[in-house]
A and B are shown apart, each in its own frame.
Chain A
Amino acid sequence: MSPQRRAITRDVLDNALAGDRSAVRELIANLRPVVQTAVVGVLARSRGSARGRPLAQEVDDFVQEVFARLFASDAKELRRWQPAVAPLETFVRGIAYCDAVSILRNRTTSPYTEDPIEPEQFDPIPKSEPTPETRAISRDALLRLVDAIRNGLGPRGAAVFELLILRERPVEEVCATLAMSEDAVYAWRSRIGKKAREIQLELLSE
């Protein structure tokens, strides 16, 4: 972070949530670039996200929607921040990634697919197939795979995938961001690995 941008402290957040205007402005000025960059990171690499609109306009809409979620229900999400686990910027970045994926999924898929996919609903991996990871995959294919995995997982799985796999966030931080236990995160990691291989096989067979 450059010297011009100061990390948000617990006091600033508390003051902002108590309705102090200057604290809210400081909070937004600090977090908007964080949210914006996270949104671009998700949107720019997703097919068909902009629906023919300028990407910047789409990003602005997503940014507002992420903030709407952060402040909804008396800012319940922001109040979950634990300074001991990660800076607020990191916490919000994680939420922004997950929200952007969630918003994108809602826009590009049937609303009914928002229901979480339980692990038992995953089809078993055909063991006789060659191991997919042994095959060389192009970067484009990987990005296509990322898109398919995001859409193939439920919202919780997609959030874990985004933070744990794509953003390499520590498990403790993922737990704090998503309000999940460590066991649940590790279980999701395993499911995501299986789902990823399954989706890759599907893509390879196309």
Chain B
Amino acid sequence: MPSSLLEQLTEAARDDVLADPRWEDYAAGVLNAEDKASLLEKAKAAGLDEETIEALGPREAAFDEAIADAALLTLASAAESKGTQATEAPPKSASTEESATSTKPIAEASNVIALAPKRASRVARWVSLGGALAAAAAVVFAVTRPRDLPVYTMNIKGGIADVRATPVDTHDPVLVNRASQLSITLRPATKVDGRVSAKVFLMQDSTSFEPKVSLELAESGSIRITGTAQDWFTGKPAGTWQLCAFVGDPSKLPTHPHERSSSDRSSVIAVCRDVQWTGQ
């Protein structure tokens, strides 16, 4: 019999059917039939509900792919912000030092961003429709991804820093002035099934508006959005604005950035990045 309260807590956790190590193989989809039957029987006997068992189940390969894509982009982004290029890894026998001398950039190695400009894409902050758009979470890639849309990355060109070729941290706002011609590329990690479109909103505190933009849609699901800072910001106060692009089923795109509904969750995502308007 456990004597202390903490020991009782430990014992309760140990007896939890969820602590069974076989769940990892189950989640990986590699548990053999015999163990699977035994595990599910144990789960049933322990009163584990169907929803939890489903949550423990294998995921589609596309889910792992999307995470891998986002990880690669995040690594590339970190390398970029350090002023270096991530490199294609050497064979396993090679040393770490050798890997640093390899010259193939990740932007070329990854087919996710094969359409990217010469510079590796910056990875935008991602937020979900269900999350606060103003959330300041410094999460680098998708926090929430609807099941029927892949991870999207956002690349903004045309900011002042781009022109100066100054290394910019991933989370720094894109600095724009009246002369800035902005080109925003939204690129899916995998080809999108079905038609998608996008809407852009700019938000600052409680103010928001939909700027005038031109949209170009590619069959792959990539979207290019262009516009000028002068059109967007003239008459607007200087400072940091949050640029959010909503991507998804054209019929489900919001008419207001804070509009959300449960049906949108599965068909629309928001990709956001801060933009610093100089006011001049």
Contacts and interface: CB of A to CB of B under 8 A. Distances in A.
B13 to A, nearest CB: 4
Contacts, number: 208
Interface in B60-103: 63-65, 67-68, 70-72, 74-76, 78-79, 82, 86-90, 92, 96, 99-100, 102
B259 interface: no
Given A19-B109, A23-B89, A60-B63, A71 B25 contact: no
B144 A74 contact: no
A73 interface: yes
Contacts of A18: 86-90, 96, 99-100, 102
A12 B92 CA distance: 7
A133 B8 contact: yes
A165 B109 contact: no
A73 B55 CA distance: 29
Given A17-B75, A19-B109, A67 B67 contact: yes
B149 to A, nearest CB: 13
Q: Is the interface of B mostly helix, strand, loop or mixed?
A: helix
Interface in B21-39: 23-28, 30-32
A74 to B, nearest CB: 4
Interface string B11-52: 011101011000111111011100000000000000010011
Given A73-B78, A133-B4, A64 B67 contact: yes
B161 interface: no
A187 interface: no
Contacts of A167: 13
B233 interface: no
A48 interface: no
Given A2-B30, A28-B68, A196-B5, A68 B16 contact: no
B115 interface: no
A181 to B, nearest CB: 21
A17 B100 CA distance: 11
Contacts of B92: 11-12, 15
A63 to B, nearest CB: 8
Nearest to B143: A65
Chain B CB within 10 Å, residue with most, of A12, A30, A133: A133
A117 interface: no
B65 A33 contact: no
Given A37-B23, A37-B24, A75-B78, A68 B12 contact: no
B217 interface: no
A68 B9 contact: no
B10 A14 contact: no
Interface stretch (A80-88, A135-143, A151-159, A171-179): A135-143
Nearest to A75: B75
Chain B CB within 10 Å, residue with most, of A11, A15, A19: A19
A188 to B, nearest CB: 12
B68 A19 contact: no
Given A20-B89, A68-B141, A142-B12, A33 B99 contact: no
Nearest to A36: B27
Contact of B65 (A2, A25, A56): A25
Contacts of A189: 6
Contact of B72 (A21, A168, A192): A21
Interface of B: 3-6, 8-10, 12-14, 16, 18-19, 23-28, 30-32, 48, 51-52, 54-59, 63-65, 67-68, 70-72, 74-76, 78-79, 82, 86-90, 92, 96, 99-100, 102, 106, 109-111, 128, 130, 138-145, 147
9 contacts: A2-B32, A4-B30, A15-B89, A28-B71, A30-B28, A36-B27, A36-B56, A44-B55, A65-B139
Interface of A: 1-2, 4-5, 11-12, 14-21, 23-25, 27-30, 32-34, 36-37, 40-41, 43-45, 53-61, 63-65, 67-69, 71-75, 89, 132-133, 137, 139, 142-143, 145-146, 149, 165-168, 189, 192-193, 196-197, 200
